[in-house]
Amino acid sequence: MDAKKNEKLFLILSLGLTESIKKGVVSIDEAEQLLFSPKIIQLFTKLGFSKELIDLVYSGMELEDLESLLPNQLTNSLSQMSADAVGILRKMPRLELALPCWYEEILSQKKLDFNIENNELLIDKQNTMTKISVNQNTLDQLFLKISTWEDWIEIEKRIFKLNCWSERNISEINNILKSEPIKIDGAYWFPVPNQYDVSETIEFLYEKYQQMAFKKIEPEAYEENMKNISEYGKRCVFCEKYAKEYFGDMCPACGSELLWLPLNED
């Protein structure tokens, strides 16, 4: 089937899921497994699906946070998602799928759009970055409540979708490590590649909040570490470089906020 027909079927699935969640017959967790996930966004982007459909998936990924933080807004959000799906469907042409055998076009091993053999939905991890969306307000609200590492792990799972991250291609990492150090603002900056195939913004947020979590959960250990400040350098996630001795808070190359980086001298 062409992209528009596929889009229409996924819109119907989205509409069915939101209404099923409202009726209590499908859980948000089930809906995330079926449609509302970063991997689905990655696939839809790869196939050139419409922004409207991708935005619906993003909205679905935020439902779990709404359920726990703002449960009184969950029904309204689901209703809006249903209305958005209906609005898009109204603008789409009728499906011409040779009813009643339309399912053969989708499920047949010879024609299956998701069949590995035709490669339409395979992701080339070397060229396609895993797309993760983080709601900053939700992240901040959840972070205010954490008091244990179990709380932080929950944020990793629900907000950063850490289980969906893939490791960066080793050849990319090696190429960065081969680059020569450069001197900027009186300090030498050495290569330090990001480890995951996500955007620099997401990796920065994750590492920043992880360091903040350490300070909040283990304040005594944090204070002890700060007494040995020489054991830490400053790292720019966006430039993928670090300096062993630099006292500024912002990267002199790109202006981004710097993060602490433990130095391993041995």
Task: Give the sign of the dihedral formed by CA 227, CA 230, CA 236, CA 237.
Answer: negative
Task: Give the sign of the dihedral formed by CA 34, CA 35, CA 37, CA 43.
Answer: positive
| Phi, psi angle pair for 188, to nearest 5° | -90, 130
The pLDDT tens digits of the residues spanning 46-93 come to 888 889 999 999 999 989 888 888 888 899 999 999 999 999 999 888
Residue 232 pLDDT exceeds 70: yes
141 and 114 in a common domain: no
Query: 104 and 111 in contact (C-beta within 8 Å)?
Result: yes
- The arithmetic mean of pLDDT across residues 20-34, rounded, is 91
Give the Å distances, CA to CA, from 162 to 47, 88, 156, 207: 24, 31, 6, 12
Question: Residue 250: its pLDDT value, please?
Answer: 93
Identify any residues that bridge with 241 across adjacent strands, giving them in sequence order. 191, 236
Question: Residue 99: its pLDDT value, please?
Answer: 43
Q: How would residue 132 be classed by pLDDT, with cut points 50, 70 and 90?
A: confident
Q: Is residue 125 part of a domain?
A: no
Arithmetic mean of pLDDT over the chain? 82
Domain ends where: 86, 118, 150?
118
Span between the terminal Cα atoms of the chain, in Å: 57
Q: How would residue 97 be classed by pLDDT, with cut points 50, 70 and 90?
A: low
**Among 168, 171, 173, 136, residue whose Cα is nearest residue 155:** 136
219 and 108 in a common domain: no
- The arithmetic mean of pLDDT across residues 240-247, rounded, is 92
Expressed as residue numbers, the domain containing 198 is 136-262
The pLDDT tens digits of the residues spanning 142-156 come to 899 999 999 999 999
258 and 219 in a common domain: yes
16 and 100 in a common domain: yes
258 and 140 in a common domain: yes
193 and 99 in a common domain: no
246 and 188 in a common domain: yes
108 and 30 in a common domain: yes
241 and 144 in a common domain: yes
248 and 176 in a common domain: yes
Query: 204 and 237 in contact (C-beta within 8 Å)?
Result: yes
The pLDDT tens digits of the residues spanning 51-63 come to 999 999 999 998 9
DSSP-derived secondary structure for 93-156: PPP---TT-HHHHHH-TTT-TT-GGG-TT---TTT-PPP----HHHHHHHHHH--SHHHHHHHH
| Phi, psi angle pair for 245, to nearest 5° | -130, 95
Q: Is residue 237 part of a domain?
A: yes
Question: Residue 90: its pLDDT value, please?
Answer: 92
Give the Å distances, CA to CA, from 60 to 21, 89, 192, 225: 11, 17, 35, 40
Give the separation between CA 258 and CA 248, rounded to whole angstroms. Answer: 8
242 and 141 in a common domain: yes
Return the H-helix or E-strand segment holding 17: helix 3-23
| Phi, psi angle pair for 259, to nearest 5° | -115, 155
Question: Residue 116: its pLDDT value, please?
Answer: 30
- The arithmetic mean of pLDDT across residues 194-198, rounded, is 89
Q: Is residue 127 part of a domain?
A: no
DSSP-derived secondary structure for 148-196: SHHHHHHHHHHTS-GGG--BPPHHHHHHHHTSPPEEETTEEEEE----B
Q: Is residue 224 part of a domain?
A: yes
Question: Residue 264: its pLDDT value, please?
Answer: 72
Q: How would residue 164 be classed by pLDDT, with cut points 50, 70 and 90?
A: confident
Give the separation between CA 158 and CA 164, rounded to whole angstroms. Answer: 11
Question: How many structural domains comprise the chain?
Answer: 2
A 10 A CB-CB count for 222 gives 14
Domain ends where: 118, 146, 175?
118
Question: Residue 44: its pLDDT value, please?
Answer: 85
**Among 42, 4, 53, residue whose Cα is nearest residue 197:** 42
DSSP-derived secondary structure for 205-251: HHHHHHHHHHHHH-HHHHHHHHHTGGGEEEEETTTTEEESS---SB-
184 and 73 in a common domain: no
**Among 20, 8, 14, residue whose Cα is nearest residue 59:** 14
Residue 107 pLDDT exceeds 50: no
